[in-house]
Chain A
Amino acid sequence: MVTKNDDKDAWLFEITPKNDFFSLHLKEVWRYRDLLMLFVKRDVVTVYKQTVLGPLWYLIQPLLTSVMFTLIFNTVAGINTGTTPPFLFNLASITIWNYFTSCLNDTSDTFKKNASIFGKVYFPRVIMPISVVVSNLLKFGIQFIIFIVFYIYFYCKGADISLSFLVLLFPLLVVLMGVLGLGLGMFISSLVTKYRDFTYLIAFGVQLLMYISAVVYPMSLIQEKIPGYGWVVRYNPLAYIVETARYLLLGVGEVSALGLAYTVVVTIAVFFVGLLFFNKTEKRFIDTV
């Protein structure tokens, strides 16, 4: 049979079983960018529509947590935050930390949560977790506004807090945090398709992670109190992000250029490893989920 243009180049695309492990389909993701924005819009809109208090919940959680942390860690346990009001210290930490945990939690069950839609129609699966990370920015933004409100309040009361001009770099920290949460979340979501146990792991894993991420104490403190285990915190890229965020916002703590460089490298590595696993899982998960 003679067919027109029967040479290989004429085919638009080919579906084959073999798939290059290292192909990331980034071009395809770009083609579906409108879908990404629509998913974000959907997430944002449904938050307002489904609950009575809507985004108000976003405020209650960090505020109450900060109050509790201030009472337990600063008043009872006596963690010293220097001249910075402990409440503001905790609120700053929790705001940025919350962004990480929500990104991680919401992306880690991507496959399980979207099994029905993934089973019916194709689009680059990675759109889903990315959209989650982007729409979580809204929640972060709301929590950040409440931080600013308290910031101004404490500033007017004459607390010793200073905004460094480096605060312009703060968005980069947020991006770093989001990408780290996304990378880790994609990695875990791939594992969850095979091993459901990992769902339980994240729940308390994230909690434990918080204690080694310098959320409730300055990084220097751990070095001072338990020097033998200080490395646990020092090798944790999250600790640098939290510490740097506090430095930029409150002028407390220290910025380690080396630590930040390390964080960026780890973040990029985690993201790509997560993406590779995610893409690999995307091919076969519908048969195993």
Chain B
Amino acid sequence: MSTKDIILKVENISKQYRLGQVGTGTLSHDLNRWWHQVRGKEDPYLKVGEVNNRNIKGNSDYVWALQDITFEVEKGEVLGIIGKNGAGKSTLLKILSKVTSPTTGSIKSRGRIASLLEVGTGFNPELTGRENIYLNGAILGMTKKEIASKLDEIIEFSGCERYIDTPVKRYSSGMTVRLAFAVAAFLEPEILVVDEVLAVGDAEFQKKAIGKMQDISRGEGRTVLFVSHNMAAVKSLCTKGVVLEYGKVVFSGDIDDAIDEYFRNADQTASREWQKENAPGCDFLKLLKVNVFASGQEVSLNHSISDDIKIEFTYEILKEDQLFTHGFNLFNSHNIHIFSSHDKNSETLTTPLKKGIHKKTITIPGNFLAEGGYTCSFAIMRYNPFHVEFQQRDIVAFNVIDEVSTNTVRGNYSGHFPGVIRPQLNWE
């Protein structure tokens, strides 16, 4: 049995918000509420908060922003916390960084936690870059001595040497972020909480920031909790992932599986139909129906890796004498654009279609895609001159499931099989 070095243990964390509590703000409101209660009437301000419940109207006054969150983090691990807006990521981070306290449960930690919930926290525009490094560092929990010993490194990393004695109000937003990130990156805590820092900053700096975070975790053995919508960053940085959905942990484990899970949450269907009024399309064509067919003739979301996948598009022609062709794009669950295909020899390029319903089918061969989830997009284009009439993304989705078989690329090997695609190729 392997011994694990657990540095952070989150046990049954729940956070409850009371609706309506947000709406109150004055003593007169509270007195009024009390007066209504005395007379047995309902709270006059409770309705204000009800929209907080987002999609579903609840009967209860309370909302659970987080429910029974339990996970463990090992030392040196970079844990990605992913989830849609409103899944509870920020609330969780706020609890972790002690900004707000949980309603139930406990978090046990073996190290100091420093958070970087939003960069530039406490930056004062009137102070110079150098002064802000000290201030920001102290806010994040460093002592003056610690900061002084790292000052040169911080300045160098931020790439703001020239402006370090200029007030921060003269900085561009990118420079401010770089400086702020630099301070946080050189923090000494055992656990660093990072939220969406990479949203700003140019590509070069993002690369640098990701590299630095990798150093922090791999080189220095510190632990990073990373929250981001940027799946590419999450993927390149994190080793483990936790997927949150509506305040609950729906998945916890390997980062690649977590990302799959995150995208799987998307509203997925292998078959979609539109009414003519709200169907996607352009002035001469409306897309009415899309189906993903398995090797047989039934609509299916899951497909064996060795089977052909047929995607059938049904559309209606509204105007005659239109020359056009079809396009198809495939994206995997990490939002990587796998391929684009143009129907370049289509007869619709030379012979206009009659008004009415028409069908077009594209076949993706078996033993070509890797295991995972995919989403499709459909486009109508014209040549001479080239013009995309419309493109509809995420219309249908399907999953490709690998298997150990002599018919598949992996054959009898059952381990991890890397690669974005998994085509059957000739070895001679």
The residue of chain A having its C-beta at the shortest distance from the C-beta of B96 within the complex is A15
Q: Are A4 and B4 in contact (CB-based, < 8 A)?
A: yes
> Which chain B residues lie closer than 8 Å to A42 at the CB level?
124, 127, 131, 135
Q: Are B99 and A120 in contact (CB-based, < 8 A)?
A: yes
Q: Are B110 and A12 in contact (CB-based, < 8 A)?
A: yes
Contact A45 B112, CB 8 Å, known A19-B101, A119-B99, A288-B22: no
User: Is the C-beta of B141 less than 8 angstroms from some C-beta in chain A?
Assistant: yes
> Which chain A residues lie closer than 8 Å to B401 at the CB level?
none
Contact A4 B3, CB 8 Å, known A120-B115, A120-B118, A123-B141: yes
Bound CA span A35–B17, Å: 31
Q: Which of B97-118 contact A (CB under 8 A)?
A: 97-112, 115, 117-118
> Which chain A residues lie closer than 8 Å to B203 at the CB level?
none
Bound CA span A288–B29, Å: 14
Tell me what chain B mostly uses at the interface: helix, strand, loop, or mixed: loop
Flag B139-178 by CB within 8 Å of A: 1 or 0 each: 1111110000000000000000000000100000000000
> Which chain A residues lie closer than 8 Å to B134 at the CB level?
38
Q: Are A14 and B101 in contact (CB-based, < 8 A)?
A: no
Flag B17-55 by CB within 8 Å of A: 1 or 0 each: 100011011111010000000000000000000000000
User: Is the C-beta of A83 less than 8 angstroms from some C-beta in chain B?
Assistant: no
Q: Are B126 and A15 in contact (CB-based, < 8 A)?
A: no
> Which chain B residues lie closer than 8 Å to A224 at the CB level?
none
Q: Which one of A19, A197, A287 lies within 8 Å of B17 (CB-CB)? A: A287
Contact A284 B115, CB 8 Å, known A35-B138, A38-B144, A121-B140: no
Q: Which of B96, B98, B112, B167 has the most CB of A within 10 A?
A: B98
Bound CA span A84–B98, Å: 55
User: Is the C-beta of B94 less than 8 angstroms from some C-beta in chain A?
Assistant: yes
> Which chain A residues lie closer than 8 Å to B97 at the CB level?
121-122
Q: Are B27 and A195 in contact (CB-based, < 8 A)?
A: yes
> Which chain A residues lie closer than 8 Å to B6 at the CB level?
3-4, 6
Q: Are A120 and B26 in contact (CB-based, < 8 A)?
A: no
Q: Are A14 and B106 in contact (CB-based, < 8 A)?
A: yes
User: Is the C-beta of B122 less than 8 angstroms from some C-beta in chain A?
Assistant: yes
User: Is the C-beta of A283 less than 8 angstroms from some C-beta in chain B?
Assistant: yes
User: Is the C-beta of B121 less than 8 angstroms from some C-beta in chain A?
Assistant: yes
Number of interface residues of B (CB under 8 A): 53
User: Is the C-beta of B1 less than 8 angstroms from some C-beta in chain A?
Assistant: yes
User: Is the C-beta of A207 less than 8 angstroms from some C-beta in chain B?
Assistant: no
Q: Are A17 and B104 in contact (CB-based, < 8 A)?
A: yes
* Nearest CB on A from B281, distance (A): 45
Q: Are A15 and B106 in contact (CB-based, < 8 A)?
A: yes
User: Is the C-beta of B294 less than 8 angstroms from some C-beta in chain A?
Assistant: no
Bound CA span A177–B188, Å: 38
Bound CA span A79–B96, Å: 60
Bound CA span A63–B24, Å: 42
User: Is the C-beta of B254 less than 8 angstroms from some C-beta in chain A?
Assistant: no
* Nearest CB on B from A27, distance (A): 14
* Nearest CB on A from B360, distance (A): 52
Q: Are A283 and B101 in contact (CB-based, < 8 A)?
A: yes
Q: Are B25 and A196 in contact (CB-based, < 8 A)?
A: yes
The residue of chain A having its C-beta at the shortest distance from the C-beta of B147 within the complex is A34
Contact size class for A? 35 or more
Q: Are A11 and B110 in contact (CB-based, < 8 A)?
A: yes
User: Is the C-beta of B95 less than 8 angstroms from some C-beta in chain A?
Assistant: yes
Q: Which one of B1, B30, B94, B143 lies within 8 Å of A34 (CB-CB)? A: B143
User: Is the C-beta of B5 less than 8 angstroms from some C-beta in chain A?
Assistant: yes
* Nearest CB on A from B124, distance (A): 6
User: Is the C-beta of A286 less than 8 angstroms from some C-beta in chain B?
Assistant: yes
Q: Are A195 and B141 in contact (CB-based, < 8 A)?
A: no
> Which chain B residues lie closer than 8 Å to A10 at the CB level?
110
User: Is the C-beta of A168 less than 8 angstroms from some C-beta in chain B?
Assistant: no
User: Is the C-beta of A46 less than 8 angstroms from some C-beta in chain B?
Assistant: yes
Q: Are A286 and B99 in contact (CB-based, < 8 A)?
A: yes
Bound CA span A118–B97, Å: 11
Q: Are A287 and B1 in contact (CB-based, < 8 A)?
A: no
Q: Are B126 and A50 in contact (CB-based, < 8 A)?
A: yes
Q: Are A46 and B17 in contact (CB-based, < 8 A)?
A: no
User: Is the C-beta of A1 less than 8 angstroms from some C-beta in chain B?
Assistant: yes
The residue of chain A having its C-beta at the shortest distance from the C-beta of B65 within the complex is A287
User: Is the C-beta of A258 less than 8 angstroms from some C-beta in chain B?
Assistant: no
Q: Are A122 and B106 in contact (CB-based, < 8 A)?
A: no
Contact A2 B3, CB 8 Å, known A15-B106, A45-B126, A120-B121: yes
The residue of chain A having its C-beta at the shortest distance from the C-beta of B112 within the complex is A12
Q: Are B121 and A287 in contact (CB-based, < 8 A)?
A: no
> Which chain B residues lie closer than 8 Å to A37 at the CB level?
144
Flag A102-126 by CB within 8 Å of B: 1 or 0 each: 0000000000000001111111000
The residue of chain A having its C-beta at the shortest distance from the C-beta of B29 within the complex is A195
Q: Are A35 and B139 in contact (CB-based, < 8 A)?
A: yes
User: Is the C-beta of A49 less than 8 angstroms from some C-beta in chain B?
Assistant: yes
Q: Are B126 and A46 in contact (CB-based, < 8 A)?
A: yes
The residue of chain A having its C-beta at the shortest distance from the C-beta of B119 within the complex is A120
Bound CA span A122–B99, Å: 5
Q: Are B99 and A123 in contact (CB-based, < 8 A)?
A: no
The residue of chain A having its C-beta at the shortest distance from the C-beta of B104 within the complex is A17
The residue of chain B having its C-beta at the shortest distance from the C-beta of A18 within the complex is B101
* Nearest CB on B from A255, distance (A): 40
Bound CA span A120–B135, Å: 15
User: Is the C-beta of A32 less than 8 angstroms from some C-beta in chain B?
Assistant: yes
User: Is the C-beta of A23 less than 8 angstroms from some C-beta in chain B?
Assistant: no
Bound CA span A14–B11, Å: 11
> Which chain B residues lie closer than 8 Å to A123 at the CB level?
139, 141
Bound CA span A116–B247, Å: 23
Flag A262-289 by CB within 8 Å of B: 1 or 0 each: 0000000000000000000001101110
> Which chain B residues lie closer than 8 Å to A195 at the CB level?
25-27, 30
> Which chain A residues lie closer than 8 Å to B24 at the CB level?
194
Q: Are B111 and A12 in contact (CB-based, < 8 A)?
A: yes
Bound CA span A268–B59, Å: 47
Q: Which one of A16, A46, A122 lies within 8 Å of B115 (CB-CB)? A: A122
Bound CA span A42–B142, Å: 17
Contact A45 B127, CB 8 Å, known A14-B107, A17-B102, A286-B99: yes
A-B contact pairs, 14 of them (CB 8 A): A4-B6, A15-B102, A15-B106, A15-B109, A39-B135, A42-B124, A45-B127, A121-B97, A123-B139, A194-B24, A198-B27, A284-B100, A286-B94, A288-B21
Binding site for A on B (CB under 8 A): 1, 3-6, 9, 17, 21-22, 24-28, 30, 94-112, 115, 117-118, 121-122, 124, 126-127, 131, 134-135, 138-144, 167
Give the 8 A-B residue pairs with the shortest CB-CB distance, closest first. A122-B98, A35-B138, A15-B107, A195-B27, A120-B117, A34-B144, A11-B108, A120-B121
